[in-house]
Amino acid sequence: MTEQTLSDWTPPKIWTWDKASGGKFANINRPISGPTHDKDLPVGEHPLQLYSLGTPNGVKVTIMLEELLAAGHTDAEYDAWLINIQEGDQFGSGFVGLNPNSKIPALQDRSVEPHQRVFESASILVYLAEKFGMFLPGDLATRTECFSWLMWQMGSAPYLGGGFGHFYAYAPFKMEYPINRFAMEVKRQMDVLDKRLEQSEFLAGPELTIADFATYPWYGAMARGLLYDAKEFLQVEDYTHVLRWAKQLSAREAVRRGTLVNRPWDDKGLKERHSASDFES
């Protein structure tokens, strides 16, 4: 399909998979699940084994783990192994065993028997919050507010990433309709956040929670102009309360560390993380 014939395209009666379609990620997208090859996952010395990549969904979990360590929870020590999605690591048999959906991140807690697998980033955050008794409010009202914002983020981020991000930054060519559709939705979401953060220091209230850890790598990064080179296009600096919140979180040492883990694409981050001393190098 070319840009010139796009408007003339009519969906067929039955969809068939065209391996050449899909833009930048065509080589890793497919309409079926399951492993493509046998590959065991590496295991380090710590109780928690994380298999991930430093994308926003992966960063949610490494921020949480670094915050737990900063709070003195030594049992939250972890090994973070790189899953290179461009090379299809997520379709190895070992990773699919942890996450049948073949998406990062995936966690294995080897401190319990049988070893506990956890997949989906929000589920990992809840698991760690309950395991260590931090960043999840105890009273019902605030806990419910926290879960509401956590679920809001999980439902909204696909519009930001798979919607706006895909068509604005990764599609084979620019298409006005989907970019306009998803830009409108992203700006609406940013406005929702901005109005909430005008009322409250953090998303669930006056205390930092997993809702902030989940939302910051997506919407905090967007507010700071770090996603898709779309800062001017979306006028993100208009959302002053989101920007205040994002700067507040980015100033935390544990948050800064979390954003560096499983980041192989530049010299600022760590390809893997197995010890706090890794950051010193």
Structure tokens of 90? 């997520």
Q: Dihedral sign for Cα 118, 134, 48, 56, please.
A: positive
Residue 2 confidence (pLDDT) above 50: no
Q: In what order do the strands lie in the sheet with 106-109?
A: 78-82, 48-52, 106-109, 116-119
CA-to-CA distance for 237 and 223, rounded, in angstroms? 6
CB burial readout 172-185, b (16+ within 10 A) else e? eeeeeeebeebbee
Residue 62 confidence (pLDDT) above 50: yes
What domains are there in the chain, each with its CATH number? 48-135+260-280 (3.40.30.10), 140-250 (1.20.1050.10)
Amino acid 23: pLDDT: 67
Amino acid 186: pLDDT: 98
Residue 191 contacts residue 241 (beta carbons within 8 Å): no
Residue 203 confidence (pLDDT) above 70: yes
Residue 272 confidence (pLDDT) above 70: yes
Residue 208 confidence (pLDDT) above 50: yes
Interhelix angle 121-132/56-70, rounded to 10 degrees, is 10
Average pLDDT on 49-57 reads 98
Average pLDDT on 224-237 reads 96
CA-to-CA distance for 193 and 274, rounded, in angstroms? 34
Average pLDDT on 104-118 reads 98
Q: What is the pTM of this model?
A: 0.94
SS3 187: helix
pLDDT digits (tens, 9 = 90+) for 183-195: 999 999 999 999 9
Amino acid 229: pLDDT: 95
How far CA 137 is from CA of 121, 126, 204, 212, 248, in Å, comes to 19, 11, 9, 13, 20
Interhelix angle 140-158/176-199, rounded to 10 degrees, is 160
| Average predicted confidence (pLDDT) for the chain | 94
pLDDT-derived band at 24, boundaries 50, 70, 90: confident
